[in-house]
Chain A
């Protein structure tokens, strides 16, 4: 059973990653190209000065190579996320959340998107090339991971506290669950240090477009993961349900 779920998660994750890569290729790549052009123009303007970090001047991988790498990166990322999703689904199924497997898969994907993508994004949004100081990459990575972990922990707190109140009505449990998620996450949004490293003169529309493309890529990935995993699970459940009905027509 767990093996079936894991294989389903890996396959669906890979497919979801590739669907997201198609979206990213169409919507996000033009913005990356524009940002790299700006980065190179800025580097050319101050030619002669040494560059820190990794530059795009003498590429280890060509731009077409990086565009191909987009599919590799998102495919592998989808595989990883799909595997973890399947194991979480195996643990939660029949214990927490909606009884319908399809509804559980979609709910899990939506909650994971909010916790792992949306809230970290609100605090530390995605940045195109040319935005961000290479000196602070360590700090920015740590802060970003703190936000992701805070999102996951908040979900755990919300679900656990809502489950403790099993005697209460659904309205109370929902309110407690929402508060359990939102209070720590909003505290993180307010209290964690702000990162402001957009270079002067960087076009605001390009920054916005890139960030929308980035959020859209993640949204497509998680939506595809939840919906496809849900459809396959429903189908499998109906098949085993039918099989059981055929084998044992009279319930004992």
Chain B
């Protein structure tokens, strides 16, 4: 890989708008890893469906 790909920094004001997406991603990660039906109505079903993934991601589970 080349060492020559120096890019100008992206301006922080331009970036800050996009940071609003971070809570959405965190919510998604939360649904996969910790949700016990608190957020989603289908919580129990999703919780059981993603059971193996949660264990293998190393998240504490029951």
Residues of A within 8 A of B (CB): 1-2, 6, 21, 24, 28-29, 32, 53-54, 59-61, 65-74, 76-77, 79-81, 83-84, 87, 90-91, 93-95, 99-103, 117, 120-121, 124-129, 132, 134, 137, 140-141, 144, 210, 213-215, 217-218, 230, 233-234, 237-238, 241
CB pair A21 B34 closer than 8 Å: no
Q: A21-B53, A101-B5, A217-B56 are in contact. List 8 more A-B contacts (CB 8 A).
A: A6-B21, A69-B52, A81-B29, A87-B21, A90-B15, A129-B51, A214-B57, A233-B5
With contacts A94-B10, A230-B1 known, is A77 near B55, CB below 8 A?
no
A21 to B32 CA separation, bound complex (whole angstroms):
14
Q: Chain B contacts of A132 at CB under 8 A? A: 60-62
Q: Does B39 reach chain A (CB closer than 8 Å)? A: no
Interface residues of B, count at CB 8 A = 44
Number of residue pairs A-B, CB distance < 8 angstroms: 178
Which of B7, B10, B56, B59 has most A Cβ within 10 Å?
Answer: B56
Contact of B2 with A100 in the complex, beta carbons under 8 Å: yes
Interface SS of A by simple majority: helix
Looking at the assembled complex, report how far the CB atom of B21 sits from the nearest CB atom of chain A, in whole angstroms.
6
Q: Within the complex, which residue of A67, A69, A74, A137 is in contact with B61, where a contact is CB–CB below 8 Å?
A: A137
Check A214 against B55 for contact (C-beta < 8 Å): yes
Over the window 3-35 of chain B, the binary record of Cβ atoms lying under 8 Å from chain A Cβ atoms (1 yes, 0 no) is 111111110101100110110111011011110
A6–B58 contact, CB under 8 A?
A: no
In contact, B55 and A84 (Cβ under 8 angstroms)? no
Chain B interface, >50% SS class: helix
List B contacts of A2 (CB < 8 A): 10, 14-15, 18
Binding site for A on B (CB under 8 A): 1-10, 12, 14-15, 18-19, 21-22, 24-26, 28-29, 31-34, 44-45, 47-62
**A59-B48 contact, Cβ under 8 Å, with A73-B53, A93-B7:** yes
